[in-house]
């Protein structure tokens, strides 16, 4: 960890810089896979599964029998935890349901928005050692609330051709329609273009490695929408002297264990806190199973001492962290002044882990400074708001002449004429 | 116009196909301009303005004096029309203001969303013969309501170095912060990277030709968010025997005049309507100033006869039109069943022109079938929803154990530990 004391403002940009993300060099490889799946469908996906996931699959779909097997394999304790998390995510996202109200902008001119679920969505859940069943909940629960009719999930199987039972259990509980054994670029391609087994979807969600990220970017240029651009996960703790150093250390470490490119930053007004956090990190790190990843990631970690809370808040908004933990005395007043962040954790008893799993908020959030322009995933991500307008006789007579003038001035006479033919009918 | 009678379902996809959009071949040219503006700033923009817009500019910013001059040049009639439209757009978008509610997902676990305006947004308004002051209103009015602090507008000047006065008047009225004389790729680059004059923004909005579209796509891969992918404008009229053929013809023509690649489609249950619409189009076309563009565009236009309303609705949802006009007897019942469209115009007195200019709804809408996954521009496009959570002693004791179990099962022990250290403190 690097301690930086009272940096000058002109150095902030350099200090807060993320490692450059560039997937351009992967594009040729990724495009090759995308195109083969597009033209050859299931056969290509099966072959890529053999190559990359070292597994010979008979077919891609997870069967009802496999779902039943999985249910028996998940411990009761984990099932209960998954259901608790699912309920909280459901409660929070259900409160986001949008009900459009009719607005009469002029007498007889009524406009409104209506939320409609995206009919077909695709969820990608990475494989690897850690089965991310929490991500299944974070994506499938809001998709179901939104009314998405087809919720497709792709996740890579292990070498025995099986998907982790906790992923299957979470998917069944959350209402996923179809689950396929496919990972990486071939999974993104299957959902973007459709194959004999995998339905083509309209929007793809979910995390992934750099190949998956590159694939999502490439298909998003023409074929399908995606949730948001991706980058390594990151946390910022903004703390004053009142913060508990053990909690701060634990929060920094919980980010650091994600991967060697994860970002963990402390911005504080307290020199004493920095000292104690450094000690605590050392002690806690020694006890972590993933200490190698975490200690490698901590090399990029920064503990930044600033002059006052104003400066801490300004620096935070410059950085625009994915996760922001506020451990200050008056954290609500600080929260009011946060304009750029994905998800904010308030006070000493609200660790990032809570939002990662079970508070009910979504854990799919904008990284890499994208919080300046993007929201995290929410119910909004699974709907579209279609606008409607209904104009009466009185309405078109009120706004029609203005439309005619504007259209004529934009030299769009047919636009004008569409009003004129109507106004003429009403005159007669 | 091509009349298609009772097509079989297996032919729908071919019939409803849009012309392929492919800007890949422009990417080298576009990347060259983007990179030069990124490294050389204003000087590069000025040089590209000389090359592409044939104008020698002293500097890029529109001066307060030019704004005053513009105000004097716009007719009172047009000013009044612009102000009426602005008020309606303001009323409709103001009704979209989001107020997050606090949700207690478990006792002591409180979660909420807060809408925060994107701090810096960039609006692009194309030049050419038609001054698109309506687009200025559609983008700047919601940006202002959202609380965007810096609203930058770029638009190409004419050969005398002037911006059309109606654009400047609309921009002043709508609260644009800074206006620059820059068009095309160099304008997108200036807003994406920032130059000495033009501030870097976090999200870029607005229409443009294929170069602008390619530039927006390329910068959206890493540097800045964009409103949505773009394609040629399109309208579908869904009508039954009750529709007025003169209105239908006028609506198809108002789309056709946009450009030779515009799409205008009629789907109807009435053979008689098709006949009459064909006649009406001929008559109205003859009187249009832009009849050359319109008649060229009409060559791709399709009048499709279907068996019944069910089929018409299904075909419409397959097509996912940007603009959809419903001229049927019971149009409200039909509207209820529309799941894929950008903006819907209900009944015989609601032409698309109304939404293009003055009903209050936004005219920046998803083309090219993107309505299946994207909404049009609305207040949402200018905000982010940041999530917050605050957990009490009781709250972390309730959900903490579930988080510990889930984290352990995802093999993320530091995530678990961030909860454990807190629960331990509470026990003591």
ipTM of model: 0.96
Closest CA to A106 of A363, A401, A378: A401
Question: Chain B partners of A200 at a C-beta cutoff of 8 Å?
Answer: none
The rounded distance, in Å, linking the Cα atoms of B383 and B115 is: 6
B90: enclosing H helix or E strand = helix B76-94
Name the phi and psi angles at B351, rounded to 5: -75, 160
Does a structural domain hold residue B5?
A: no
What are the tokens at A356?
């990662």
Does residue B399 share a domain with residue B357? no
In sequence order, which residues have a C-beta less than 8 Å from that of residue A75 and are 6 or more positions away?
Answer: none
Q: How confident is residue A146, by pLDDT bands cut at 50, 70 and 90?
A: very high
Cβ atoms of B351 and B325 within 8 Å: the answer is yes
Question: What is the Cα–Cα distance from A12 to A161, expressed in whole angstroms?
Answer: 48
Identify the pLDDT of residue B258: 84
**Which string of DSSP letters, residue by residue, matches A196-239?**
SSSPP-SEEE----HHHHHHHHHHHTTT-EES------EEEEEE
Q: Quote the tokens at residue A425.
A: 């009918």
Boundary-marking domain end, from B226, B261, B287: B226
Residues B368 and B419 in one domain: no
How many Cβ atoms are within 10 Å of A373's Cβ, its own excluded?
25
What does the DSSP assignment read for B124-177? E---SSS--HHHHHHHHHHHHHHT-SEEEEEE---TTS---HHHHHHHHHHT-S
Question: Of A81, A103, A118, which is closest to B95 when you measure between CB atoms?
Answer: A103
The sign of the torsion formed by the CA atoms of A35, A40, A45, A51 equals negative
Contacts of B362 (CB under 8 A, 6+ apart): A387, B89, B93, B138, B142, B343, B376, B377, B378
B322 among known catalytic residues: yes
d(CA A278, CA A3) in angstroms, rounded, equals: 9
Q: Are A315 and A16 in contact (CB under 8 A)?
A: yes
Residue B50 distance to chain A (closest CA, Å):
25
Domain boundary among B226, B255, B270: B226
**Can you tell me the distance from the alpha carbon of A407 to that of A1, in angstroms, rounded to the nearest whole number?**
61
Determine the straight-line distance between the first and last CA of chain A, rounded to whole angstroms: 80
Please state the rounded mean pLDDT for residues A31-56: 97
More confident residue, B26 or A394: A394
Residue A230's pLDDT band, with cuts at 50, 70 and 90, is: confident
8-state DSSP, A258: T
Of B82, B362, B413, the CB nearest to A387: B362
Instruction: Report helix, strand and coil shares of chain A as percent, to nearest 5.
Output: 50, 15, 35
Task: Tell whether the torsion through CA atoms of A288, A294, A296 and A300 is positive or negative.
Answer: negative
In terms of DSSP bridges, do strands B203-205 and B263-268 run parallel, antiparallel, or are they unpaired?
unpaired
Give the pLDDT confidence score for residue B21 in this predicted structure. Answer: 66
Which residues from B are below 8 Å from A411, CB to CB? 129-130, 289-290
Instruction: Tell me the C-alpha distance between A165 and A118, whole Å.
Output: 28
Q: What is the pLDDT of residue A49?
A: 97
Q: How many residues does chain B have?
A: 428
Q: Which residue has the tokens 């947004």?
A: B121
With b meaning 16 or more CB within 10 Å and e meaning fewer, what string describes B231-249? bbbbbbbbbbeebbbbbbb
Query: What are residue B43's phi and psi, to 5 degrees?
Result: -60, -40
Name chain B contacts of A353, Cβ cutoff 8 Å: 403, 407, 415-416, 418-419
Residue from A313, A306, A304, A356 nearest A335 by CA = A313
CATH at A420: 1.20.5.1300
The Cα–Cα gap between A266 and A2 comes to: 10
Question: Does A413 show up as a binding residue in the annotation?
Answer: no
Pick from B371, B384, B393: which is nearest to A371 by CB?
Answer: B384
Report chain A's mean pLDDT, rounded to a whole number: 95
Task: Please check whether residues B269 and B331 belong to one and the same domain.
Answer: yes
Q: Is pLDDT above 80 for A44? A: yes
Alpha-helical segments (H) within A288-392: 291-298, 309-319, 331-336, 352-357
Q: Does this model's pTM top 0.90? A: yes
Q: From residue A68, give the alpha-carbon distance in Å to each of A64, A168, B349, B426.
A: 6, 9, 56, 39
State which H helix or E strand residue B302 sits in.
strand B302-305
> Which of B:87-116 have CB within 8 Å of A?
87-88, 91-92, 95-96, 101, 103, 105-106, 109, 111, 113, 116
Q: A174 and A319: one domain?
A: no
Which H helix or E strand runs over B106? strand B103-106
Both tokens assigned to B98:
């989001």
- What is the spatial distance between Cα B269 and Cα B308, in angstroms, rounded to a whole number? 6
Report the pLDDT averaged over residues A322-339: 98
3-state secondary structure of B229: coil
B84 and B187 inside one domain: yes
Q: Which of residues B204, B226, B248 is at a domain's end?
A: B226
B156 assigned to some structural domain: yes
In a domain, B18, yes or no: no
Interface test with A, best of B117, B363, B417 (most A CBs within 10 A): B417
Q: According to the 3-state scheme, what is the secondary structure of A74-117? A: CCHHHHHHHHHHHHHHHHHHHCCCCCCCCEEEECCEEEEEEEEE
Residue A104 within a domain: yes
Question: Quick one: pLDDT at residue A21?
Answer: 66
> Is A100 in the same domain as A208?
yes
Structurally, chain B folds into a number of domains equal to: 3
Based on the fold, state whether residues B183 and B248 are members of the same structural domain. Answer: no
Residues in chain A within 8 Å Cβ distance of B344? 386-389
What is the pLDDT at residue B128? 72
B352/B323 same-domain check: yes
Q: Which domain holds residue A414?
A: 393-427
Cα(B70)–Cα(B82) distance, integer angstroms: 14
What single DSSP character describes residue B270? -
Helix axes A165-174, A133-146, angle to 10 degrees: 10
Based on the domain organization, do B222 and B241 belong to the same domain? no
Query: Same domain for B238 and B213?
Result: no
B382 secondary structure, DSSP code:
G
DSSP per-residue letters across A124-174 = E---SSS--HHHHHHHHHHHHHHT-SEEEEEE---TTS---HHHHHHHHHH
Q: Which of A49, A234, A280, A322 is catalytic?
A: A322
Structure tokens at A312: 């801490």
Claim to verify: residue A290 and residue A336 sit in the same structural domain: yes
- Continuous segment of H or E residues that includes residue B4: strand B2-5
Interchain contact, B80 vs A357, CB within 8 Å: no
- Do the beta carbons of residue A265 and residue A321 sit within 8 Å? yes
Contact A322, B390 (CB under 8 A): no
Give the number of residues written for chain A: 428
Which one, of A184, A134, A135, lies nearest residue A156 by Cα? A184
A24 has a pLDDT exceeding 90: no
Beta pairing class for A150-155 and A225-226: unpaired
B15 found inside a domain:
no
Q: Is B221 in contact with A224 (Cβ distance < 8 A)?
A: no
Q: Identify the DSSP state of B254.
A: H
Q: Which residues contact B223 (CB under 8 A, 6 or more apart)?
A: B192, B193
* Interface with chain A: mutation pick from B334, B359, B419, highest number of A CBs within 10 Å: B359
CB interface of A with B, residues 199-258, below 8 Å: 202-203, 217, 221-222, 224-225, 229, 244, 246-247, 250-251, 253-254, 256-258
Nearest C-alpha neighbor of B328 from the set B340, B316, B342, B341: B316
Q: How far apart are CA B136 and CA A67, in angstroms?
A: 53
CA within 13 Å, CB half, A144: 20
Burial (CB count <10 Å: 0-12, 13-18, 19+), residue A423: middle
What's the CATH code of the domain at B152? 3.40.50.1980
Determine if residue A93 is labeled as part of a ligand binding site: no
- What's the CA angle centered on B363, arms B358 and B368, to 5 degrees? 155
Neighbours of B82 (CB within 10 A): 26
In a domain, B386, yes or no: no
In a shared domain, residues A209 and A242: no
Find tokens 């609203």 and name the residue: B151
Active-site residue among B236, B280, B322, B352?
A: B322
Please, which residues 284-343 of chain B have a Cβ atom closer than 8 Å to chain A?
284, 287-290, 294, 335, 338-343
Provide the 10 A C-beta neighbour count for residue A419.
25
Rounded to a whole number of angstroms, the distance from the CA of B420 to the nearest CA of chain A is 9
Mention every residue, 6+ apart, whose C-beta is less than 8 A from residue A427: none
pLDDT per residue as tens, chain B (428 positions): 999 999 999 999 999 998 776 777 888 999 999 999 999 999 999 999 999 999 999 999 999 999 999 999 999 999 999 999 999 999 999 999 999 999 999 999 999 999 999 999 999 999 877 799 999 999 999 999 999 999 999 999 999 999 999 999 999 999 999 999 999 999 999 999 999 999 999 999 999 989 999 999 999 988 899 999 888 899 999 999 999 999 999 999 999 888 888 899 999 999 999 999 999 999 999 988 878 888 888 888 999 999 999 999 999 999 999 999 999 999 999 999 999 999 999 999 999 999 999 999 999 999 999 999 999 999 999 999 999 999 999 999 999 999 999 999 999 999 999 999 999 999 86
Interface of A with B in 23-52 (CB under 8 A): none
């Amino acid at each position: 960890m690097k301690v930086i004391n009272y940096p000058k403002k002109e150095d902030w940009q350099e200090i807060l810089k993320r490692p450059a993300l560039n997937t351009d060099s992967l594009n040729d490889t990724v495009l090759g896979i995308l195109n083969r799946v597009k033209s050859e469908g299931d056969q290509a996906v099966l072959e890529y599964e053999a190559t990359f996931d070292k597994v010979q699959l008979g077919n891609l779909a997870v069967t009802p029998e496999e779902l039943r097997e999985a249910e028996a394999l998940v411990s009761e304790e984990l099932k209960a935890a998954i259901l608790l998390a699912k309920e909280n995510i459901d409660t929070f996202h259900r409160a986001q349901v949008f009900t459009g109200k009719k607005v009469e902008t002029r007498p007889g001119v009524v406009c409104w928005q209506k939320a409609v679920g995206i009919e077909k969505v695709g969820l990608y859940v990475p494989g690897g050692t850690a089965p991310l069943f929490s991500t299944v909940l974070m994506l499938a629960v809001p998709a179901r609330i939104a009314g998405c009719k087809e919720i497709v999930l792709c996740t890579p199987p292990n070498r025995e051709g099986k998907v982790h039972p906790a992923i299957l259990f979470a998917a069944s509980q959350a209402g996923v329609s179809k689950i396929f054994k496919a990972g990486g670029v071939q999974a993104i391609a299957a959902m973007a273009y459709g194959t004999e087994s995998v339905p083509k979807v309209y929007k793809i969600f979910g995390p992934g490695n750099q190949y998956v990220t590159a694939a999502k970017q490439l298909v998003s240029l023409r074929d399908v929408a995606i949730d948001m651009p991706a980058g390594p996960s990151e946390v910022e703790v903004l703390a004053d002297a009142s913060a508990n150093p053990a909690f701060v250390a634990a929060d920094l470490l919980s980010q650091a264990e994600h991967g060697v490119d994860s970002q963990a930053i402390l911005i504080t007004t307290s020199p004493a806190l920095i000292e104690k956090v450094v000690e605590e990190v050392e002690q806690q790190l020694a006890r972590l199973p993933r200490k190698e990843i975490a200690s490698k990631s901590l090399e990029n970690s920064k503990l930044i001492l600033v002059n006052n809370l104003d400066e801490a808040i300004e620096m935070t908004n410059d950085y625009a962290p994915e996760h922001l933990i506020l451990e200050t005395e008056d954290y609500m007043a600080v929260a009011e002044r946060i304009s750029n962040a994905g998800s904010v954790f308030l006070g000493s008893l609200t660790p990032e882990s809570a939002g990662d799993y079970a508070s009910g908020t979504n854990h799919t959030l904008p990284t890499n400074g994208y919080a300046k322009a993007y929201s995290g995933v929410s119910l909004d991500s699974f709907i579209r708001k279609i606008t409607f307008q209904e104009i009466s006789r009185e309405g078109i007579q009120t706004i029609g002449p203005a439309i005619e003038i504007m259209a004529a001035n934009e030299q769009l006479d047919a636009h004008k004429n569409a009003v004129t033919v109507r106004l003429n009918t009403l005159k007669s």
